[in-house]
Amino acid sequence: MTTPMTMPMTTTRLRPARPFGRTLCAMVTPFTESGAFDLDGAGTLADRLVAGGCDGLVLSGTTGESPTTTDTEKAALVRAVREAVGDRASVVAGVGTADTRHTAELAADAEKAGADGLLVVTPYYSRPPQEAVEAHFRAVADASGLPLMLYDIPGRTGTRIAPETMLRLAEHPRVVAVKDCAYDLLGTQRVLSGSDLAYYTGCEEFILPLYAIGGAGYVSTVANAAPGPLRAILDAFDTGDTAGAARAQLRAAPLIARMMAAGLPGTVTAKSLLTALGLPGGPPRPPLLPAPPEAAEELLAHYEELTRAEVTAG
Catalytic positions, please?
A: 151, 179
Are the C-beta atoms of 16 and 198 separated by less than 8 Å? yes
User: Largest Cα–Cα distance in the chain?
Assistant: 56
Nearest to 212 by CA among 185, 194, 176, 187: 185
CB contact set of 45 (below 8 Å; sequence gap of 6+): 27, 28, 30, 224, 274, 279, 280, 281
Distance CA 137, CA 277 (A): 38
Q: List beta partners, residue 117.
A: 92
Backbone angles phi, psi at 7, to 5 degrees: -90, 135
Query: From the centroid of its chain, how far is CA 173?
Result: 21
Distance CA 43, CA 33 (A): 17
How many CB atoms neighbour CB 304 within 10 A?
Answer: 12
Query: From the centroid of its chain, how far is CA 121?
Result: 11
- Integer angstrom CA distances of residue 127 from 53, 101, 156, 158, 184: 37, 16, 11, 6, 19
CB contact set of 277 (below 8 Å; sequence gap of 6+): 225, 303
Distance CA 102, CA 90 (A): 24
Backbone angles phi, psi at 57, to 5 degrees: -130, 130
Distance CA 14, CA 308 (A): 35
